A and B are shown apart, each in its own frame.
Chain A
């Protein structure tokens, strides 16, 4: 499926009427979009519906993509807006560990994973589990920065905030992630430092 074409080349093809070329963009970005959506929504079914909607909106709005930013930045902006719209429409709570319910869930994870289970967990699972314990905003900033290959300026554009605000948010998000890991995965963090 990888054709070596840049995103802008593919977009050009799609605009010329080659609708199938859009599937390359979907394949390339579906995991990124789905992960960002899951930072906001706890249900995978809802997340899949929203992620699908993001690509449909992106396709319909391709005429407005001027190529001034990266396609991924433009796509993640649509993703963020779609998540917020979905949450407003459904009046769901943002999947966040800042509320008591999720905090209790985290405590259960902590309790349930002591002893053998914690030791068996891989480093990857530990980091991802800790990210899942963060608030949606923190998790999104970390995901965009480390996985979405977005600079602070681009993240600021996606979130509609100042670059300096995003810088502070990223710093705080990393700090909170570190705290969560130290609190819930003490043994593994020690291994990590060795």
Chain B
């Protein structure tokens, strides 16, 4: 039953030219010797050819090309993304995040008392790691202020670009 069920997919692979050399030889042999395979092959081949010849493409209106050309007349080709995405900035952000995570891990590991393993399985109690030294109010405030300043710089840059575009018009 399985072999019967597999005839079509295997024949389609053969017709589409996707079979391996070994599989091709095997199927060619089956087509030559087995009446059922031969009949199915002929049927699928005919169907495949009829699809290739008879599928029609739809046509848009006569004005289509002109409409597109009118629509793009006022457009410009946007610069390739790679020209305006600075890889150094991407790597800089990535590096900052990685160093932030590494810093926290190192800070946490430094607080663990390696000699006194707690519990019967000798695990570490991570709930006792104190992050208050790292996330106290001063550090948090400084972090927030830096973010606000960076945000304002970004806004200023955006608005000055807008102003330049507006002057061009």
Contact = CB atoms under 8 A, between A and B. Distances in A.
Interface stretch (A14-22, A78-86, A91-99, A110-118): A14-22
Interface string A165-187: 00100110011011000000000
Contacts of B60: 30-31, 34, 47-48, 51
A135 interface: no
B19 to A, nearest CB: 12
A26 interface: yes
Interface stretch (B71-79, B105-113, B128-136, B149-157): B71-79
A128 B54 contact: yes
Contacts of B50: 123, 127, 192
Contact of A146 (B51, B75, B80): B51
B58 A31 contact: yes
B120 to A, nearest CB: 48
A62 interface: yes
Nearest to A64: B80
B99 to A, nearest CB: 32
Interface residues of B, number: 37
Given A23-B65, A51-B64, A127-B51, A59 B57 contact: no
A52 B66 CA distance: 10
Given A60-B77, A63-B80, A55 B68 contact: yes
The B contact surface, by secondary structure, is helix
A143 B18 contact: no
Given A31-B60, A61-B78, A146 B55 contact: yes
Contacts of B72: 19, 22, 55-56, 59-60
B55 A147 contact: yes
B9 A64 contact: no
Given A52-B67, A52-B71, A60-B78, A31 B59 contact: yes
A14 B18 CA distance: 37
Interface of B: 8-9, 12-13, 16, 18, 43, 46-48, 50-52, 54-61, 64-65, 67-69, 71-73, 75-81, 83
